[in-house]
Structure formats: structure tokens, C-alpha cells
């Protein structure tokens, strides 16, 4: 649906010139292009909970049929004091169980790369590490030159000779990350951005992957590094499987691992949990999510090229608390725009954006939510607990993308959906004037604090919040812009 608000020539000029992110009185603006989204996800594994990642019937393409191979990725040890298994491939039924493994050896106080050719010609090398330090580890097996090696943080390899014999086919092959095959050693810490190659990497490629300590994810890889890359796991998922970005070797998450910060932030690809939503406005009021179990994800397939996807089942939410003071006070006017798509058809209230106070039930201003009848609802409670709760007569019966605008002039609120004003309850209609509200919290996808629920279920593509009442002319320009942006 496209609004017939402007002439074709005028719309063409707006495509080239008009940008709502450059308008005055913009408090905050969030755009879901990957440029403005950051992810820091890694798989956090707790040894006490026996958490690990696995391929139950591991194929040979990450196993014994590659006589030359390399494994590389980021490791963080929360605690040491015991052996910590990081990854290994081997046989679930035969002793010795592994063909190769990387683990923290308590006896050596080091990471140990151990290659065991089905019980023959065992060889191992170590690289010293300590707890609470993130390290980039690269380990290889070079059967062409009879050598294995290990490197830490892009440094020189520690090597040893290895005399290979023919590999035997495993009876029941498994691939574990964070768990010992046939033992009780589990990792206690996080793993991030692991790759497996069917060859030995060059020193330049190792340096490129280390990236001066910033690391890389699959979207950053190019050139020779992707040659003979069999599998790559970004390990950013906070639910479901950990996807293999190259092949089909997806990892099952066992015993509910959480997510940790991992390596430095990157632009997300589909499925990455979002830790920072960058504010495009002049004030730099970024929205963040630090609770690893509550992060929304990036979905590149939703709403014309990508959106931030919220799931009420996982209590996804984000906060930009520095926004709140700009609207805190005595009925301060604002205009709010949200591009969204509802992914829910039940009977529970879903909140797009909220302003409120973190420690009190009062001082709540929930803007642009759907109530338990799928009607648009704006609820305002002032410091004295007086409330106004305008609700639209129209219901939302579609999961199509929408452009919503809430416009408050200090007394009356009006809600627009795709450019059309909705009829609101109240005397007068849309009455929203209840007095002073002391705001300390700005929430996206949730009420003012996570424990209150009403989490959003669906996608949010853009948010624009202004500390003024927009005229109909300005509102229509912005709505037209956002509808084009959403592909409507």
C-alpha cells in the first residue's frame, strides 16, 4: 500500500534529498541497516551444567578424511584448575576416542593440541594461556610434511613431528565443542568464530584471521581464506542450532548454553543477536542489550532488507535510558514513528516502545503498543498514579509491515497507521494529559523494565522519536519516506 500524499515529482526529490534523520528536534533514530547494528555474540558454556555443542553423527568432512587440516577460533576460559575440553572429533564407542582434540591441560597450564591416529603415532603441542583472557588459537595437522602445530594470537607456531598412518573409519563419529568424548571434561567459558579448513593455513592467513585482536566472522572472510574452508560457525545464536555458514555441519546446543560478549563487535548477519542499536540522531543515544539471554536478532529477510526481530518467548528487549530525560516532565510533546511487523496473533499485550521509571509502577508512558484485543493502545500514568489509556476502535488483524505514528501535543494523543488516523477512546477523544511524568528508562520491545513482560513479538525496522509535535505536512513526508523504506 502506498499513500497518495505527494506528487510523483515531489516523491522523486524526497528520495534524493529528504531524510527524517536530519530533521530538527530528533531525540533518537534507530535504523535496522546492518551498518547501525552491532553483535558481540559467543557461545557461553558452563561446565557445571554440562553445556556443549555437538554434531551427533559427525561427517568425515571435518574429520579423518582430511589428512591436512586446520582448526581456528576464539577461546575464553572463565576458570581453569581442571582440564577443559574445547573441541574434538572422534569415535563415541572406541578407545582411544579422539582423532584430534584441543583442550586446556591443567597439568601443562596450557592449551594442548593432541592428534591421535587411532592409537598410533600420538603427538601433542602446547601453548600457555591463563584464565579470564581471550585468545585466538590456530591448530593444524600437516600429514604431507609429518607435522602438527599450534599458535596463539597470530604468533609463531609451536610444532612437533608426526608420523601418520592410514586413518581408520570411525564406528560412531561425533564432533564436540566444549565436551570431552568419552569423558567428563567440559569447557567453562566461551567459544567464538571457529572455522575448519581441509588444508594448512599460511602465516599471512592466520594474521588476517587474528585481525589485530578484533577477529572476524564469516561475512568478513574473503580471498584465499575461503579456499578449502569446510565449515565456519559464527556461534552468535542465542536459541536454536549454531549454523554452519559454509556447509551443513550445524551444531546442536546441548543443555541450553547462553551467549557471551565474544570478540569485538561486528555487523550482524541473519540470526546474530544484537547488543547495540546505534542512534542515527545527533545525540548518540544508542540502545543496548547486555543481558545475554534477552537479545533480539537481525533478520535480513524481514521488511525489505532487514529488521530487528523480537521474540516474546525469549523476552527480547533493548534499552536506551539516556533518551528518557528528554521527555521527562509535565506533558512534554513528542512525535513517535515506528516501522514494524506483528508476528503474533494471541491475546497478550505487545509493546513496541515505552518510557517509564525503572523502580515504580507509576510514571509509565507506553507508546504504540497493541493491547490484549490487538487494538492500538497508548497508556500514560503520571507521578501521582493518575492514568489515561486511549485505545483505538480498530484492531490489527494482519502481520504485514506497518508504519505507525503517535503524536502527542501535551494534551491529546493521535495514533496513525499507514498514514490514517485511528479513532481513540477518551473524553475528549485521545485525552492523554495526566500531569508530570518522571522518566528514567526507555525500552524497545518491552515495558519500562524486563520483569513486567508484554514483550514485542515481531519485527521493528525503524524508530524515530522527536521532542515536538509534527505538522500534518511533516508527518506525511516522514510516513511517505518510511513506507518507501519498508517497501510498502
Q: What is the pLDDT of residues 384-443, one digit of tens each?
A: 888 899 999 888 877 889 999 999 999 999 999 999 999 999 899 999 998 888 888 899
* pLDDT tens readout for residues 130-145: 899 899 999 999 988 8
Which contiguous run of DSSP H or E holds residue 259?
A: strand 258-260
pLDDT of 14 above 50: no
| Grid coordinates given for 317 | 528487549
Q: Which residue has the higher pLDDT, 420 or 94?
A: 420
| Grid coordinates given for 283 | 545525540
Q: Which residue has the higher pLDDT, 186 or 64?
A: 186
Q: Which whole number is the average pLDDT over 361-375?
A: 69
Q: Which whole number is the average pLDDT over 319-335?
A: 93
- Rounded Cα gap, residues 371 and 420, in angstroms: 19
- Rounded Cα gap, residues 58 and 56, in angstroms: 6
User: Domain residues of the chain, as ranges?
Assistant: 8-39+268-485, 43-258
Residues 6 or more apart from 185 whose CB is under 8 A from it? 82, 83, 84, 85, 103, 179
Q: Which whole number is the average pLDDT over 294-311?
A: 93
- Residue in 69, 247, 43 with CA at minimum distance from that of residue 144: 69
CATH topology of domain 8-39+268-485: Jelly Rolls (2.60.120)
Domain 8-39+268-485 and domain 43-258 have a common topology = yes
Cα–Cα distances (Å) from 326 to 153, 320, 351, 355, 453, in that order, read: 45, 12, 20, 11, 24
Q: Which whole number is the average pLDDT over 196-214?
A: 95
CATH architecture for the domain at 43-258: Sandwich (2.60)
* pLDDT tens readout for residues 166-194: 556 567 888 999 999 888 899 999 999 99
**Bridge-based pairing state of the strands 158-161 and 26-31:** unpaired
- Rounded Cα gap, residues 284 and 313, in angstroms: 30
- Rounded Cα gap, residues 380 and 367, in angstroms: 8
Alpha-carbon torsion (162, 167, 170, 173), positive or negative? positive
Amino acid at each position: 500500500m502506498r499513500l497518495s500524499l505527494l506528487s510523483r515529482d515531489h516523491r522523486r526529490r524526497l528520495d534524493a534529498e529528504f531524510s527524517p534523520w536530519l530533521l530538527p528536534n530528533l531525540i533518537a533514530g534507530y535504523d535496522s541497516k546492518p551498518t547501525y547494528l552491532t553483535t558481540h555474540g559467543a557461545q557461553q558454556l558452563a561446565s557445571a551444567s554440562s553445556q556443549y555443542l555437538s554434531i551427533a553423527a559427525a561427517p568425515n568432512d571435518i574429520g579423518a578424511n582430511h589428512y591436512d587440516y586446520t582448526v581456528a577460533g576464539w577461546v575464553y576460559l572463565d576458570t581453569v584448575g581442571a582440564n577443559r575440553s574445547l573441541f574434538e572429533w572422534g569415535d563415541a564407542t572406541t578407545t582411544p576416542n579422539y582423532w584430534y582434540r584441543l583442550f586446556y591441560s591443567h597439568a601443562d597450564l596450557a592449551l594442548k593440541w593432541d592428534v591421535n591416529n587411532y592409537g598410533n603415532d600420538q603427538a601433542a603441542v602446547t601453548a600457555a594461556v591463563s584464565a579470564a583472557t581471550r585468545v585466538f588459537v590456530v591448530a593444524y595437522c600437516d600429514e604431507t610434511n609429518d607435522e602438527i602445530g599450534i599458535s596463539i594470537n597470530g604468533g609463531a607456531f609451536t610444532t612437533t613431528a608426526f608420523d601418520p598412518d592410514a586413518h581408520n573409519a570411525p564406528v560412531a563419529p561425533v564432533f564436540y565443542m566444549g565436551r570431552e568424548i568419552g569423558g567428563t571434561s567440559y569447557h567453562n567459558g566461551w567459544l567464538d568464530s571457529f572455522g575448519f579448513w581441509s588444508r594448512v593455513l599460511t602465516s599471512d592467513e592466520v594474521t588476517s584471521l587474528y585481525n589485530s585482536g578484533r577477529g572476524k566472522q564469516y561475512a568478513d572472510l574473503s580471498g584465499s581464506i575461503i579456499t578449502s574452508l569446510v565449515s565456519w560457525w559464527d556461534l552468535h545464536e542465542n536459541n536454536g542450532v549454531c549454523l554452519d555458514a559454509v556447509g551443513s555441519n550445524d551444531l546442536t546446543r546441548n543443555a541450553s548454553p547462553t551467549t557471551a560478549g565474544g570478540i569485538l563487535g561486528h555487523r550482524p548477519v541473519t540470526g546474530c543477536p544484537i547488543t547495540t542499536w546505534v542512534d542515527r540522531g545527533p545525540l548518540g543515544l544508542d540502545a543496548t542489550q547486555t543481558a545475554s539471554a534477552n537479545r533480539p536478532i537481525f533478520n535480513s529477510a524481514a521488511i525489505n532488507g532487514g529488521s530487528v526481530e523480537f521474540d516474546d518467548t525469549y523476552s527480547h528487549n533493548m534499552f536506551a535510558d539516556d533518551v528518557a530525560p528528554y521527555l521527562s516532565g509535565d506533558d512534554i510533546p513528542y512525535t513517535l514513528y515506528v516501522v514494524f511487523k506483528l508476528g503474533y496473533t494471541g491475546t497478550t499485550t505487545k509493546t513496541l516502545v515505552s518510557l517509564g521509571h525503572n523502580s515504580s509502577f507509576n510514571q509509565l508512558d507506553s507508546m504504540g503498543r497493541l493491547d490484549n484485543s490487538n487494538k492500538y493502545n497508548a497508556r500514560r500514568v503520571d507521578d501521582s498514579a493518575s492514568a489515561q489509556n486511549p485505545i483505538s476502535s480498530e484492531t490489527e488483524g494482519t502481520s504485514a509491515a506497518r508504519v505507525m505514528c503517535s503524536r502527542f501535543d501535551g494534551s491529546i494523543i493521535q495514533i496513525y497507521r499507514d498514514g490514517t488516523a485511528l479513532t481513540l477512546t477518551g473524553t475528549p477523544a485521545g485525552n492523554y494529559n495526566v500531569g508530570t511524568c518522571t522518566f528514567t528508562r526507555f525500552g524497545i520491545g518491552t515495558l519500562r523494565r524486563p520483569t513486567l513482560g508484554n514483550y514485542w513479538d515481531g519485527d521493528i525496522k525503524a524508530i524515530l522519536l522527536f521532542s515536538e509535535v509534527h505538522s500534518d505536512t511533516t508527518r506525511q513526508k516522514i510516513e511517505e519516506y518510511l513506507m518507501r523504506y519498508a517497501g510498502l
